[in-house]
A and B are shown apart, each in its own frame.
Chain A
Amino acid sequence: MTALAIRERAEEALLPPLVALLIALVAGDLLILSVGQSPASVFALMLQGTWGNAYGFGQVLYKTTTLICTGLCVSVGLRAGLFNIGGEGQLAAGGFAAALVGLALPATTPSLIAVALCVLAAIAAGGVAGWVPGVLRARFGAHEVITTIMLNFITLAALNWAISTRLRVPETLHTRDVHAGALARLSELVPAFHGSAANVSLLIALAAAALTGWYLFRTRGGYDLRAVGLQPEAAEYGGVRVGSVWIRALTMSGALAGLGGINFVLGYKHYYEDGFATGYGFLGIAVALVGRNHPGGVVLASLFFATLSQGGLAINAVVPRQMVDVLQGVVIIAVAASVPEVRRVLRIGRRRSAEA
């Protein structure tokens, strides 16, 4: 492929999110003006509360970690042509399993082994939660959008029941503290992060993103998976068992979301708490959308949405916190709308320059 073609591809991949960002910025300005504040000072405040100090940035990184996992979850599903909306339940299941294993292990377990077991438990629980809709789709033709939504309810209700009746510390909705399998905070490596929730789960999530990218684009499994997502009939013709790929993709998708559970359970609070996953599953859809289902894009989009989310806390005193939720919505809608439009404009521009 020529250098020009590569440049054109890069433009088409990067420009739509940037245009969407610009639109969101303008919408944000209008919102801020409407509550009688100065946009510049509010955005400055937002930046100061997120990237402007180590604690704020640590919190951003903490949120980024979970979003990378749920974003990868949605991306892997979409690459196989499946819309996994069950990220939240799968995330919760992963966190719960990590906590259970952590509680079951004696406190004397060597930490490396304990961490490995807890992480594997999180991956396995998320994987099972994804495998179920995969099988339902492949064997019975049940649409994954329906089944993953419903499994969200089932998983979250079952976990809520388990916590509230069996496992909780009285007067709370969380388990006892998990001592085995705790992950180090980033502040232990970089003292400036002191007090923030960021922990080495971030590195695990980044490794998961790298591994996902390698799998999708460098292996035969990924070749088959993407072929199924793009053109199932062609994949079938190419000897790919479409049903098996669906099951495999949703299992991997669920496992990635499940992995995200360690961020809260092993890295931050060291217990499982009901509701820790709230919102992350759905924000994962936005991350995948803005990140164009590419692991690298997912990491960047996670950072962006985490910044927005943390920034909302920082500006709470000046403008309503809900403004950030509106902005999130604007970004997502703008990305969805701008991808085809920006491409169209790019191509018209290219033809003009080619004719000139």
Chain B
Amino acid sequence: MSDGAEPLAARLSGIFKSYGAVPANRGASLDVAAGEIHALVGENGAGKSTLMRMLAGLFPPDAGRIEVNGRDVTGWSTADAIRAGVSMVHQHFMLIPTLTVAENVILGREPMRGLSLDMAKALIEVRTVAEESGFRVNVHERVRDLSVGEAQRVEILKALFRGARILILDEPTAVLSPPEVQELWRVLRSLRESGGTIVLITHKLDEVMAVSDHVTVMRHGETVATMLTTETTPAAIARAMVGRDVDLVMVSSARRAPPLPSRPSPPLPAAEGASRRRPTATASLTPLLVQSLTVKGPRRERRVTDVSLSIAPGEILGIAGVEGNGQTELVEAIAGLRAVASGRIALGDRDITTLDVRRRAALGLAHIPEDRQRRGLVLDYSVADNLILGRQASFAHRPAGRLDRRRILANARDCLARFDIRPADPALPARALSGGNQQKVIIAREMGGDFSVLLASQPTRGVDVGAVEFIHAQLRAARDAGKAILLVSAELAEILALADRVAVMYRGRIVGLMPRDEASVETIGPLMTGAQDAAAVPA
């Protein structure tokens, strides 16, 4: 911190922490003043969450010292942390869906009368805390009926009910729509007014600029800079995050991005002349055609309802929407990972509705899955083995299926070089790579070969700024090479930066479809929250 006069709510100094052989924190230090909103930014894998989890008592550091309100609390437990008023709201909510808001909030700190629960008192207490911090939430509602934004408010409420004075929020906006984000900022500011301290973990620079007082940047497990937010710029923060200048079109906010972002020519592989081709309506064959697709979830509920879309060669169709509105199910149904209840999917002239994953892939369907660590990679397999996932049959000899190790290795060396994956060691397990490099392995595998249609689901989620640039360049290059791309992203800025047409999904339906020129935060934002819950617009 620039001035040491303010009292410190938390001070972390010289923190080291490793997961297995992978260092997550390497001498990180952070001072958080009481009553401020402190943004902690950095690429994925920079060690932000790790550092904050130690402050919240989830595990001890290997070395270093953690102080809260001037007291040495190094290596404390979560119970100790909660007692001392330090609480962390995780990306994945820890709520019990079948209980009401009030029941969830008081869990673990139930007001008792004798041996029985004093529900009347509990309700009063929960309402009091909610009103004091300016929450709008119905305490009687069951958590499973809440929207994601509301559920997140319950998590925060729960922390406040436990007496949290230092609140750590881990990427809180990842699951929120733009209006919900604004609501969250309002709540955080009001918490700050009442003397609360907030650490906001994020990788979105517009959020830093919007709410924080100070910003600390982490890179490779170290804290490289702490700045007064009013005295810095997104460009300066981005430079600190990656250690060099970056193209901010992709990383800055939709709000701050120019209405029609200029397209930098792809700096990297396969960059054919960056002349951008408009999608041709006259294309004889539509690479991907989806007609009246309906997909059901495990309890027979509709996840995707009557979705129709088509993508032309050389076109990126962006699907915007708050996460959990059927995008995952739509993509998985097209990829063959999820059964279709009704409707039709065609790849070129082939109806693929009933084909399995392997046959669809063989017909030229590539897929960058949204959850790379669960679906996209076998983390304990080597990079070389991961680079053949989905094509393992073509690397095996008949009839016994002996794998051709020489070709697998040659393929790996080729991919590592072409896509600049680091470290360039084909024998390393995928687990040992950073998020950005893991994603590059998937990109290399899916986009390195022959394909006509690409499903790109959250392709830059949680990867570092450098990798975002790289991946966007790859997508543009593929588009310019005539591929059809379905891009699903929770980041509106990404959709606006890449897509030629934008569709908006809400509650399993496509509620809006427009050319890029008409798409903006103002036109798309309301659709994302169902403000215009109209019938699906045919593509």
- Tell me the A residues contacting B by CB distance below 8 Å: 1-2, 5, 8, 218-221, 223-224, 226-227, 230-231, 233-239, 241, 343, 347-348, 350-351
Among residues of A, the one whose C-beta sits closest to the C-beta of B408 is: A223
Report how far A113 CA is from B401 CA in the complex, Å: 28
Residues of A within 8 A of B392 (CB): 220, 223-224, 238-239
Q: Evaluate contact between B381 and A237: CB separation under 8 angstroms.
A: no
Q: Evaluate contact between B393 and A234: CB separation under 8 angstroms.
A: no
Q: Evaluate contact between B21 and A220: CB separation under 8 angstroms.
A: no
- A-contacting 9-mer, from B106-114, B200-208, B371-379, B469-477: B371-379
- A-contacting 9-mer, from B94-102, B284-292, B308-316, B353-361: B353-361
Q: Evaluate contact between B18 and A347: CB separation under 8 angstroms.
A: yes
Among residues of B, the one whose C-beta sits closest to the C-beta of A228 is: B378
Q: Evaluate contact between A230 and B389: CB separation under 8 angstroms.
A: no
Q: Evaluate contact between A237 and B389: CB separation under 8 angstroms.
A: yes
Since A238-B390, A351-B18 are in contact, a sample of 9 more A-B pairs with Cβ atoms closer than 8 Å, ordered by chain A residue number, is A219-B401, A219-B403, A220-B402, A231-B378, A233-B375, A236-B375, A238-B378, A239-B361, A347-B21
Q: Evaluate contact between B379 and A220: CB separation under 8 angstroms.
A: no
Name the distance in Å between A8's Cβ and chain B's nearest Cβ.
7
Name the distance in Å between A175's Cβ and chain B's nearest Cβ.
36
Residues 377-399 (chain B) with a chain A CB within 8 angstroms: 377-381, 385, 389-390, 392-393, 395-396
Report how far A218 CA is from B356 CA in the complex, Å: 25
Q: Evaluate contact between B401 and A235: CB separation under 8 angstroms.
A: no
Q: Per-residue CB proximity of B318-331 to A under 8 Å, as 1/0?
A: 00000000000000
Question: A224-B392, A239-B358 are known contacts. Are A233 and B374 too (CB-CB below 8 A)?
Answer: yes
Q: Evaluate contact between B381 and A220: CB separation under 8 angstroms.
A: no
Residues of B within 8 A of A5 (CB): 427-428
| Contact for A239 among B379, B390, B402, CB less than 8 A | B390
Residues of B within 8 A of A230 (CB): 378-381
Among residues of A, the one whose C-beta sits closest to the C-beta of B426 is: A1
* B4 on interface, CB distance cutoff 8 Å: no
Report how far A223 CA is from B357 CA in the complex, Å: 17
Residues of A within 8 A of B375 (CB): 231, 233-234, 236-237
Residues of A within 8 A of B427 (CB): 1, 5
Q: Evaluate contact between A234 and B378: CB separation under 8 angstroms.
A: yes
Q: Evaluate contact between B62 and A348: CB separation under 8 angstroms.
A: yes
- Tell me the B residues contacting A by CB distance below 8 Å: 18, 20-21, 23, 62, 335, 337, 356-358, 361, 367, 369, 371, 374-381, 385, 389-390, 392-393, 395-396, 400-403, 405, 425, 427-428
Q: Evaluate contact between B428 and A1: CB separation under 8 angstroms.
A: yes
Q: Evaluate contact between B369 and A237: CB separation under 8 angstroms.
A: yes
What are the 10 A-B residue pairs with the smallest beta carbon separation, nearest first?
A239-B358, A1-B427, A220-B396, A220-B401, A238-B389, A219-B401, A238-B390, A239-B357, A237-B375, A233-B375
Report how far A234 CA is from B375 CA in the complex, Å: 4
Q: Evaluate contact between A227 and B393: CB separation under 8 angstroms.
A: no
Residues of B within 8 A of A223 (CB): 385, 392, 403
| Contact for A218 among B369, B371, B381, B402, CB less than 8 A | B402
Among residues of B, the one whose C-beta sits closest to the C-beta of A214 is: B402
Report how far A72 CA is from B520 CA in the complex, Å: 60
Residues of A within 8 A of B358 (CB): 239
Report how far A350 CA is from B22 CA in the complex, Å: 11
Among residues of B, the one whose C-beta sits closest to the C-beta of A234 is: B378
Q: Evaluate contact between A220 and B395: CB separation under 8 angstroms.
A: yes
Q: What are 24 contact pairs spanning A and B, CB under 8 A?
A: A5-B427, A5-B428, A8-B21, A219-B403, A220-B393, A220-B395, A223-B392, A224-B392, A226-B381, A231-B378, A231-B379, A233-B371, A233-B374, A233-B375, A234-B375, A237-B357, A237-B389, A238-B390, A239-B357, A239-B358, A348-B62, A350-B21, A351-B18, A351-B23
Residues of A within 8 A of B21 (CB): 8, 347, 350-351
Residues of A within 8 A of B405 (CB): 218
Q: Which of B337, B358, B402 has the most chain A CB atoms inside 10 A of its CB?
A: B402
Report how far A343 CA is from B20 CA in the complex, Å: 8
Q: Which of B361, B389, B405 has the most chain A CB atoms inside 10 A of its CB?
A: B389
Name the distance in Å between B2's Cβ and chain A's nearest Cβ.
30
Residues of B within 8 A of A226 (CB): 378, 381
Among residues of B, the one whose C-beta sits closest to the C-beta of A351 is: B18
Residues of A within 8 A of B18 (CB): 347, 351
Q: Evaluate contact between A235 and B378: CB separation under 8 angstroms.
A: yes
Residues of A within 8 A of B379 (CB): 230-231
Report how far A8 CA is from B375 CA in the complex, Å: 28
Question: A220-B401, A220-B403 are known contacts. Are A227 and B378 too (CB-CB below 8 A)?
Answer: yes
Residues of A within 8 A of B390 (CB): 237-239
| Contact for B377 among A1, A8, A220, A234, CB less than 8 A | A234
